[in-house]
Amino acid sequence: MIGFVPAAELTENPFEELLASFSELPGSVLKAQEFAQSALLPKALGTKDKKWTKTLLGSEADRVFSSESLAVEVYALTHNASKDVGHNWLVQMERLPKASAPRLWVNLESTTATYFAADAKGFQLVNTLPTSSNEELLYHLGNITEQLGWDREKLTVEVCGLGHQKALAFVKPYFKVVKSIKADKYVKLSSALNKVDIESYGPLLRL
């Protein structure tokens, strides 16, 4: 089951408020949050000393999130978020399909977007960047592709999130394969949702 509450309607304790809205709690609850100041590292390069993160994040990371299956760690400034809250990057990465060729997934939010870049060797780049227009989206896609030395003719781009339909149409001429998330791959859709743009909730679908 998927629910959605606009951020503007939530208080300082969004998880507690959202859970309180259920008449009966689901069998399992997964809490994940986006932390703007984050850095991803292979686990083999991880360190107990987090002082180096101050230069990268502006302040020293107060928490390290880890994924055993991906062998990566995320150093983040969480402002002492609850210990049972996971990092959205890792939650999404663990549920994305393994890439056999260069692939970019983009989750569009209101003023930002999260970009996941992976190839047959694994994830090469993950970042949340300011993205308030289709022009900014195209800029970041082009910049990431160039940084990784990927060929646009061999790259698959998957876009989901707010305004994904217009975004798809805008960036399609610049990449060989541009598509949206396949909702029925993750959930069984009720006929009552026929008029709902379910692909706007890509991150939730993967959960």
pTM score of the predicted model = 0.85
Quote the tokens at residue 43.
Answer: 């686990």
Query: pLDDT tens track of the chain, all 207 residues?
Result: 445 566 677 677 778 887 887 888 878 888 888 888 999 999 999 888 999 999 989 999 999 999 999 999 999 999 888 888 899 999 999 999 899 999 999 999 888 999 999 999 999 999 999 999 999 999 999 999 999 999 999 999 999 988 888 999 999 999 999 998 887 777 777 777 667 777 777 777 787
- Please, are residues 88 and 114 in contact by the beta-carbon 8 Å criterion? yes
CATH class of 95-207: alpha beta
What is the predicted pLDDT for the residue at 53? Answer: 94
CA 186 to each of CA 34, 61, 83, 96, 99: distance values in angstroms, whole numbers, following the listed order: 21, 33, 28, 11, 17
Q: Where are the domains of the chain?
A: 30-87, 95-207
Contact (Cβ atoms closer than 8 angstroms) between residue 162 and residue 109: yes
- Extract the tokens encoding 30: 């997964």
Contact status, residue 33 vs residue 81, Cβ threshold 8 Å: yes
**Four-point Cα dihedral 88, 91, 96, 102, nearest 10:** 50
Contact 115, 92 (CB under 8 A): no
Q: How far is residue 177 from each of residues 125, 163, 166, measured CA to CA in Å? A: 19, 19, 16
Bridge partners for 186 per DSSP: none
